[in-house]
Structure 1
């Protein structure tokens, strides 16, 4: 079960009007391999399709590749044939972030053509996002159609699945070989990634990107002067506020750090020196030792210590100054690239200050409001109320000028002999590069330190899907060749082209409630996650610049000043008069209408794929509300869930989730129209079915190493499979129970399943679970321990002899958090327990040797291995309910590594005590 999760059918199959052929996705999937591929895809930061342009929470390409193939291909109902298909899926995803092997793709395409002799079905994604679904559909040879209300994802998807395929295989224009002739060092040294049929268009993009940069530099290059010591590459800014102390009134700097570089042997920082009326900043650089002063920021809010008098400038005062236009900007330091390409920091010169101050905001930019401050958009609290306020005047001038020149580039391509399709493609790719330039070219750009090297570099907006308030930021040189420059953005964009397909597709701006395929096909989508991401609100950041550059190329996308908000299927109270209830009702009713509409585009022999997740587990109640909403819409649209699969869709370095319990799992739901003859059920029959079927499903999830933090969410899937097979589940009064009530019953049943698993443990471990739930790691009276042990047929002495607990005077304490003997092995223990196995595994994994040492122990567990896994899940559930975050992380880490530990423990070298 380590590599394969196979669905077991319940004793009560869903009623169908005719015998329905199951698809492979309704029976089995190789989850471990899919999840490993997704992790590889997310961990790859450059050289992926995501580098084309930012979109929020995209599903990894390998996941969609596996899901689409398994949704299209019939389950063979033969074990050997099924193993073959599952092995093919493993091969399709085994390259992780890289493309699948061509031979494996041809094999999959051949099978699909055999499955559909009259022609492959088209695929519709009505929430197209970054285009992942449709890219993988085209890779299999299927026609694709993407749509969205939001122009930003439509533009991204149109570029990948429509514009690029139209110029696949095109030779470069003759003008493209001018880098050497012009002597331009930017771009000219780049070695193009071998993109097969996109080599020609890549050369064209390079050429016209160079022309755009040259035109921009000719117009505004004076705002980026070169000094005698080299060319500035980054300007480091801090916001300022006036100290409210009447005896001080100094303009203090609101920075979160004085560090400039933490690189060994080249430490650099700022030293603030305050006098009676001002604060001077001195750059300290090239230090072998020493440390920057403490930041003036106080705590997690927006309070700062005045650098002169040390009085607190509290958040209320900073908000007051911000809203009255009183917050300022201070150029703190400049990073310079010397003639020998080395980099150093220095204080700003008069020329630096004049160049920044002389830039004027372009007058024809639309003033798009950021709206009211909310949980995802913080700047309006501090007087930063519009999109334009997120930039310095020089940054606005840069982006506006680039946009103007990109508009001209469309005509340049036509003049060079390129047709309209090529001109549209090149201009669109340049427009996407402009969006990337904005992403790293605003006051949201952080100066981020590498935890290993100590070097720092600019990090653009949207590391998370929000707009935080930034107090210090890095302004990059857009005309240079460093991080976040025009040059780098174009080059990383081109690195995405090898991952673009060359099939047939379209992407249009359309409402999911009305969009449709010309002929029924497969519907597969990753819709908005309730209130997890404010897509339209955040999209304005890109829309402003896309529209300025591309409204003549894509007039259908840019009919409004800002990204459309009305009709977006999210559940933000501020879009619904501040009412959470109304937001939820609109979300549900909108998706009921959407799913009813999408059924018309669904072939009768194909399922609908709906991938869903929430951003993070803020609370059990919030999480249940999110899930209840989408599930209510599915069921009210007369759909039945016939399969659910947890996809571990995040990488190792997600900003939320490291050290917290953020949701890391998407749930892929396989839906079919519910049969008209589907029966009703009583609550008691529903709960009996849950008890009968949820246990095996949970064991399957555990065997697939679903993370404990995600188990409750993943268990909703098989629970809702049972619930949705009925037309209604009725209570004693004959009233239909809500999805929320069904989720309560599913969660109760999950708790019973985990309790049953604990009941199968050795008595010492059962004692430890009960004791730990009540007392954690602290001591408690011996008499209480005696009362807890006796009903299990053991004594406290038995627990002590089993090395599960120790006595400290008249009190008892569990072992497991510290003081463990790292030579322990079950073979040398007269009474080995699951409790000991779990905590010795965790101890060695986290504190004593890592995976190798933990795997050595795993190889010796034998029959303790399965009970230890079950116990880990139960302990995590207890830790979550008790708010024991550190324990949650430890148990989650163990399950996260479980499959790897099993693999290592199974090798012959492990048994011999050697790892290679």
Structure 2
């Protein structure tokens, strides 16, 4: 009886239709209605399309798998079969097919067929009964579940799905999507349809649709009860006859923060800190506020028409907290504002009221009565807990907003308290209504695994509590007003809690953003679309969990130092705890989300950058070790990773997040057998131009053999050269019909086969006996990709790849970021080198004519071969061989790399048919002898540039 597990290669270990997956991911980012993300915000969600494609290809055998088992295979037959699987993936990733039952059955059958083949291969294994039951697929686990995209898709593809996370907010979201729907699948709604309500569906209660309908009904009930209690705080407003007359419902109240004027003559007045006085910038519908100043103070008037330039800046003078006094024009600097805020002397002043007119938004000047109504609100409960004082992207703490309760107006707190308190009342109503529908009640709570009336009442209360939490993203005093869209923009447009000088206080009963009824309806649409099968969501630390045992694993861990999830999620946690602690007492036992064990390299938590990196490396190694030891041996583990690239060069750099993460994966006992770049982000709005990510790198890993040997650097390079040629040919479509990888993605994808060689050994030893670092291995893999590339620096490698993809045209920052990461540099670094323009989310290479004519290599601290080459072309074309020769004389170490690069680029341009682009390189090559002679005549000039390669 054999003890060796036969594990056929899976499709993801060989090929993927990347272009189709990436296109579906990009499209999905614009979809909101019916998407699980509509349930509640979570940061850095992966697209469902990517998760679905990865899991499917992780479970399905590659048609050429017999080669991996030492048997021959018909290449043409394998190519045809692989293309058939690609067609399934192409259909699976389309949003309109997300609940296409016929397609999902086809995908599930394909998965089962591969599983039965694997079971047959291992039928004589001593653990066959335990590991290889052909009638039951292994279960699935994601130990860093976050927003739940990956476990949702595992469930959709027919696997029993388990989601775990350390963060209780994430656990609640996963319970709402993969656990609770399965418990109550197929149930009819029990909530009564009240007068004035409507149901979106009658008699069709498949999956979680009955549960979704009850969320609509009880959400409407809760909103109506809240309106009875606090509707007086949002009275209708009078509209002037000039713009229609009558009464209108206020949608939002626009406030500006205030401080006492620093001018002694007006120190008794609170003056506004307004970033703009423009309310609407829509063409033909422009509206702005004008401060009307008198001896007694100031008021605000609302005007329609093109705003003057002075209105666009409000009272702001420059970036940051720099304003002017509206009474005296006295500057108000940031230190003064911070001091006033910390002392508790920062106030608010109403700028305008936005109401719902008959055909468009109506902007009204504030009145003392409207402002006085807002100030009558007195909350009975204010959330406590410290706002994070250090966050990437900004925090409001320096301005005195230090407690969670400081982030809301009094009226907002009253509204949120009212909604929260009504969750418990709604639960009692649900419980009473189940009795009228004949439900039996076993008294078992939802947290204890209940499926009866008590558990159902808990479930509806959970969704309503999540709805309250979701509305806080809009109902807070740090949201901003969009002039172009004429609506409130949520606080968490990015992973930060930045200061907002003017903010909209939305009316939760206005039928616009922040309306509680709209929130529950949107959530219900998302619930309609989930796959209501068995699933489990639990709180667990990835470093110590044992839930992965014998399971298929795909996961999306924290990204080094990018997002401090626990710090940010406390904003929601304090509200979820208020509503849901009676339902999940253990999950909400602590006052805040756990932070100390969170695997994020936050320097402020660990006393410095080095300690934070060490914490991340050790912790992630422990977590990956758990996965390597527990994962089902028949399947590879897939791990997503993405991060903002820090500055690197070819030698002497500290570890980046990417390198640190790879080191953790390899140290944990994994061998990496594939890397696939998937475009899982769509930088828009506030993300554009802020180095937002465009891709996740999906690592495909298997447990390294316990008997793995060590090899020398020379042996590694020899094996790398032999293996990489075939692997790269496969990626560009030259082997067995493998789907081609785009040029911009090739460098990153090729890391997979290169790291497969590096990571299958217990160590690669340098000449001095030390272990080769991940950084060195990545550099060698990258250089092996490019013929003659050893003499080129990392910036030049990036430029080569970008030119191959884009020529002189502009491309998306995200694509450039992916390529830069793969090449061991960064977009910012290449820009600093002076060879690209990076602005407004676009990146383009500079043409030779755009290079500065007064360039001096002696004073240039960063001179890529690419820059030197194009400076020579500029000098040759603008002056002649003598000028180019004089410049080359000042770059003696770069002579051969420059000429080699010119040949490379000429060949590339010729291959692509770029005659105009090829001309400059051809001229340099044909003039090279004359340029060299001119350089010898010029001789060395000053200190010479030393290129670090």
Structure 1 window deviating more from structure 2 (124-133 vs 645-654): it is 645-654
Question: Is 1:673 matched up with 2:664?
Answer: no
Q: Report the 3-state secondary structure (helix = DSSP H, G, I; strand = E; otherwise coil) of the residue aligned with 1:171.
A: coil
Question: Which residue is equivalent to 1:74?
Answer: 61
Question: CA deviation digits over 1:875-894, x for unaligned, max 9?
Answer: xxxxxxxxxxxxxxxxxxxx
Per the alignment, do residues 807 and 193 of structure 1 end up closer, same or farther by CA in structure 2, a change over 3 Å counting? Answer: farther
Q: Report the 3-state secondary structure (helix = DSSP H, G, I; strand = E; otherwise coil) of the residue aligned with 2:192.
A: helix
Deviation at 1:837, TM superposition (A): 10
Does structure 1 conserve the Cα–Cα contact (< 8 Å) formed by 2:462 and 2:580?
yes
Cα distance in structure 2, aligned partners of 1:628 and 1:292: 49
Q: Which residue of 746, 767, 789 corresponds with 1:732?
A: 767
Q: Which residue of 351, 366, 375 corresponds with 2:369?
A: 351
Question: Which residue is equivalent to 1:6?
Answer: none
Cα distance in structure 2, aligned partners of 1:303 and 1:864: 54
Q: Report the 3-state secondary structure (helix = DSSP H, G, I; strand = E; otherwise coil) of the residue aligned with 1:348.
A: coil
Question: Which residue is equivalent to 2:842?
Answer: none
Structure 1 window deviating more from structure 2 (78-87 vs 566-575): it is 78-87
Question: CA deviation digits over 1:810-861, x for unaligned, max 9?
Answer: 9999xxxxxxxxxxxxxxxxxx9978998xxxxxxxxxxxxxxxxxxxxxx9
Per the alignment, do residues 835 and 541 of structure 1 end up closer, same or farther by CA in structure 2, a change over 3 Å counting? Answer: farther
The alignment of Structure 1 onto Structure 2 pairs a total of residues equal to 782
Q: Report the 3-state secondary structure (helix = DSSP H, G, I; strand = E; otherwise coil) of the residue aligned with 1:524.
A: strand
Does structure 1 conserve the Cα–Cα contact (< 8 Å) formed by 2:683 and 2:693?
no
Structure 1 window deviating more from structure 2 (741-750 vs 371-380): it is 741-750
Question: CA deviation digits over 1:526-569, x for unaligned, max 9?
Answer: 01111111100000111111111111122231111111212111
Cα distance in structure 2, aligned partners of 1:423 and 1:866: 71
Per the alignment, do residues 710 and 606 of structure 1 end up closer, same or farther by CA in structure 2, a change over 3 Å counting? Answer: closer
Question: Is 1:31 matched up with 2:18?
Answer: yes
Question: Which residue is equivalent to 1:510?
Answer: 540
Q: Which residue of 847, 850, 861 corresponds with 1:777?
A: 850
Per the alignment, do residues 677 and 508 of structure 1 end up closer, same or farther by CA in structure 2, a change over 3 Å counting? Answer: same
Cα distance in structure 2, aligned partners of 1:111 and 1:377: 48
Question: CA deviation digits over 1:443-481, x for unaligned, max 9?
Answer: 12110133xxxx411111211111111111111001221
Question: Which residue is equivalent to 1:309?
Answer: 328
Question: Which residue is equivalent to 1:424?
Answer: 458
Cα distance in structure 1, aligned partners of 2:154 and 2:546: 17
Deviation at 1:662, TM superposition (A): 3.1
Deviation at 1:409, TM superposition (A): 1.3
Cα distance in structure 1, aligned partners of 2:714 and 2:854: 42
Deviation at 1:781, TM superposition (A): 9.3
Cα distance in structure 2, aligned partners of 1:468 and 1:752: 48
Deviation at 1:119, TM superposition (A): 0.7
Cα distance in structure 1, aligned partners of 2:883 and 2:348: 59
Question: Which residue is equivalent to 2:500?
Answer: 470
Question: CA deviation digits over 1:747-772, x for unaligned, max 9?
Answer: 5556767669999999xx99xx9998
Cα distance in structure 2, aligned partners of 1:650 and 1:317: 39
Question: Is 1:330 matched up with 2:349?
Answer: yes
Per the alignment, do residues 782 and 543 of structure 1 end up closer, same or farther by CA in structure 2, a change over 3 Å counting? Answer: closer
Runs (5+) with no aligned partner, structure 1: 1-15, 785-790, 814-831, 839-860, 873-916
Q: Which residue of 529, 534, 554 corresponds with 1:499?
A: 529
Q: Which residue of 210, 235, 243 corresponds with 1:225?
A: 235
Question: CA deviation digits over 1:175-206, x for unaligned, max 9?
Answer: 4322xx2x4xxx54868998843332222112
Deviation at 1:707, TM superposition (A): 8.1
Does structure 2 conserve the Cα–Cα contact (< 8 Å) formed by 1:38 and 1:97?
no
Cα distance in structure 2, aligned partners of 1:408 and 1:623: 56
Structure-to-structure mapping, 1:126-205, within 5 angstroms:
126-173=143-190, 175-178=191-194, 181=195, 183=196, 188=198, 196-205=206-215
Per the alignment, do residues 388 and 660 of structure 1 end up closer, same or farther by CA in structure 2, a change over 3 Å counting? Answer: closer
Per the alignment, do residues 716 and 277 of structure 1 end up closer, same or farther by CA in structure 2, a change over 3 Å counting? Answer: farther
Q: Report the 3-state secondary structure (helix = DSSP H, G, I; strand = E; otherwise coil) of the residue aligned with 2:178.
A: helix
Q: Which residue of 259, 268, 273 corresponds with 1:241?
A: 259
Structure-to-structure mapping, 1:826-837, within 5 angstroms:
none
Does structure 1 conserve the Cα–Cα contact (< 8 Å) formed by 2:99 and 2:529?
no
Deviation at 1:145, TM superposition (A): 0.6
Does structure 2 conserve the Cα–Cα contact (< 8 Å) formed by 1:92 and 1:100?
no
Cα distance in structure 1, aligned partners of 2:293 and 2:468: 41
Cα distance in structure 2, aligned partners of 1:596 and 1:42: 33
Structure-to-structure mapping, 1:367-378, within 5 angstroms:
367-378=384-395
Q: Report the 3-state secondary structure (helix = DSSP H, G, I; strand = E; otherwise coil) of the residue aligned with 2:686.
A: coil
Q: Which residue of 377, 383, 386 corresponds with 2:400?
A: 383
Q: Report the 3-state secondary structure (helix = DSSP H, G, I; strand = E; otherwise coil) of the residue aligned with 2:599.
A: coil
Per the alignment, do residues 518 and 738 of structure 1 end up closer, same or farther by CA in structure 2, a change over 3 Å counting? Answer: closer
Does structure 2 conserve the Cα–Cα contact (< 8 Å) formed by 1:47 and 1:496?
yes
Cα distance in structure 2, aligned partners of 1:336 and 1:29: 51
Q: Report the 3-state secondary structure (helix = DSSP H, G, I; strand = E; otherwise coil) of the residue aligned with 1:385.
A: coil
Question: Which residue is equivalent to 1:598?
Answer: 627
Per the alignment, do residues 156 and 99 of structure 1 end up closer, same or farther by CA in structure 2, a change over 3 Å counting? Answer: same
Does structure 1 conserve the Cα–Cα contact (< 8 Å) formed by 2:207 and 2:531?
no
Q: Which residue of 378, 403, 414 corresponds with 2:420?
A: 403
Q: Report the 3-state secondary structure (helix = DSSP H, G, I; strand = E; otherwise coil) of the residue aligned with 1:398.
A: helix
Per the alignment, do residues 779 and 234 of structure 1 end up closer, same or farther by CA in structure 2, a change over 3 Å counting? Answer: closer
Q: Which residue of 432, 436, 452 corresponds with 1:415?
A: 432
Structure-to-structure mapping, 1:514-593, within 5 angstroms:
514-517=544-547, 520-576=550-606, 578-593=607-622
Question: CA deviation digits over 1:210-263, x for unaligned, max 9?
Answer: 221122122222211223432211000111123323355353211111111123
Does structure 2 conserve the Cα–Cα contact (< 8 Å) formed by 1:17 and 1:676?
no
Structure 1 window deviating more from structure 2 (558-567 vs 739-748): it is 739-748
Deviation at 1:400, TM superposition (A): 1.3
Question: CA deviation digits over 1:380-410, x for unaligned, max 9?
Answer: 1111101111111111111111011012211
Does structure 1 conserve the Cα–Cα contact (< 8 Å) formed by 2:553 and 2:631?
yes
Per the alignment, do residues 710 and 284 of structure 1 end up closer, same or farther by CA in structure 2, a change over 3 Å counting? Answer: farther
Question: Which residue is equivalent to 1:50?
Answer: 37
Does structure 1 conserve the Cα–Cα contact (< 8 Å) formed by 2:188 and 2:205?
no
Q: TM-score, normalised by structure 1?
A: 0.78
Let me know the Cα RMSD of the aligned residues.
3.9
Does structure 1 conserve the Cα–Cα contact (< 8 Å) formed by 2:645 and 2:656?
no
Does structure 1 conserve the Cα–Cα contact (< 8 Å) formed by 2:255 and 2:505?
yes
Question: Which residue is equivalent to 1:445?
Answer: 479
Cα distance in structure 2, aligned partners of 1:692 and 1:438: 57
Cα distance in structure 2, aligned partners of 1:499 and 1:707: 33
Cα distance in structure 2, aligned partners of 1:259 and 1:631: 49
Deviation at 1:121, TM superposition (A): 0.9
Cα distance in structure 2, aligned partners of 1:22 and 1:866: 44
Cα distance in structure 1, aligned partners of 2:475 and 2:529: 26
Per the alignment, do residues 53 and 773 of structure 1 end up closer, same or farther by CA in structure 2, a change over 3 Å counting? Answer: closer
Runs (5+) with no aligned partner, structure 2: 65-77, 116-133, 239-246, 440-452, 734-738, 809-833, 837-844, 858-864, 885-902, 922-949
Deviation at 1:165, TM superposition (A): 1.7
Cα distance in structure 2, aligned partners of 1:436 and 1:770: 45
Cα distance in structure 2, aligned partners of 1:770 and 1:55: 37
Does structure 2 conserve the Cα–Cα contact (< 8 Å) formed by 1:238 and 1:472?
yes
Cα distance in structure 1, aligned partners of 2:230 and 2:107: 53
Deviation at 1:709, TM superposition (A): 7.9
Q: Report the 3-state secondary structure (helix = DSSP H, G, I; strand = E; otherwise coil) of the residue aligned with 1:523.
A: strand
Question: Which residue is equivalent to 1:84?
Answer: 84
Per the alignment, do residues 226 and 34 of structure 1 end up closer, same or farther by CA in structure 2, a change over 3 Å counting? Answer: same
Q: Report the 3-state secondary structure (helix = DSSP H, G, I; strand = E; otherwise coil) of the residue aligned with 2:292.
A: strand
Deviation at 1:689, TM superposition (A): 4.3
Question: Is 1:646 matched up with 2:677?
Answer: yes
Does structure 1 conserve the Cα–Cα contact (< 8 Å) formed by 2:141 and 2:551?
yes
Deviation at 1:347, TM superposition (A): 1.3
Q: Report the 3-state secondary structure (helix = DSSP H, G, I; strand = E; otherwise coil) of the residue aligned with 1:515.
A: coil
Deviation at 1:292, TM superposition (A): 6.3
Does structure 2 conserve the Cα–Cα contact (< 8 Å) formed by 1:681 and 1:728?
yes
Q: Report the 3-state secondary structure (helix = DSSP H, G, I; strand = E; otherwise coil) of the residue aligned with 1:44.
A: coil
Question: CA deviation digits over 1:492-516, x for unaligned, max 9?
Answer: 1112123311111100111112223
Q: Report the 3-state secondary structure (helix = DSSP H, G, I; strand = E; otherwise coil) of the residue aligned with 1:50.
A: helix
